[in-house]
Amino acid sequence: MFFAAIEVFKGAGLLIYPLGLCSAVAVFIIFERAFALRRVAVMPQDLVDAVVAGRPLVGGKHTVLARIVEFAEQHQNDAGAIKAFARLEINRMERGIPYLDVIYAAAPLIGLTGTVTGLLRVFSQISPDTGLPDPVQFTSGVALALSATVIGLTIAIPSLVGSGYLQRKIENYAAQLDVLLERILQRGRS
């Protein structure tokens, strides 16, 4: 089993390096953003309850909601600036996610490139005398050539799922922040 996996990686040729880079970057972004987008790091419940109830805000100083509230307190008479700051915070939550979109588009193409170059190698080994390949080497070569595409798809699918999940999570936070932002702006007017 282990040796079969090594053969698959060998079949990708030099393209295993960009595929490996894509894989490492995708894993890092997915785990880093999943950690950064925990509810307690974005809008802890005690802070949300305080904003909704109009109570003094305590705790959660390093969260997205706390930064928006702090900015709103410093710029009470500028609702446009407060809304713009909230949009910047949402943009900050999206950091790195566009790279997942690039990875899930590029990884299969890199894999396909490896497959095409592998197939070119296989077909170039056809005997000029007989016009036929050695059947064992031919089937082995085609299998190895296809391994690059398999690796590319193995990277692309989790990147696509991770990107979709994280985008949806940010959209939910953005909707909740919009509601809370109205409450924060009402507090500043009164």
Token duo for residue 33: 């953003």
> Structural domain of residue 10, as residue ranges?
2-189
Taking CA atoms, 176 is separated from 12, 29, 44, 169, 170, in Å, by: 45, 24, 12, 11, 10
Low-confidence ranges of the chain (pLDDT < 50): none
pLDDT in tens, 145-166: 788 889 999 999 999 999 999 9
Domain count along the chain: 1
* Length, in residues, of the chain: 190
Rounded to two decimals, the pTM is 0.84
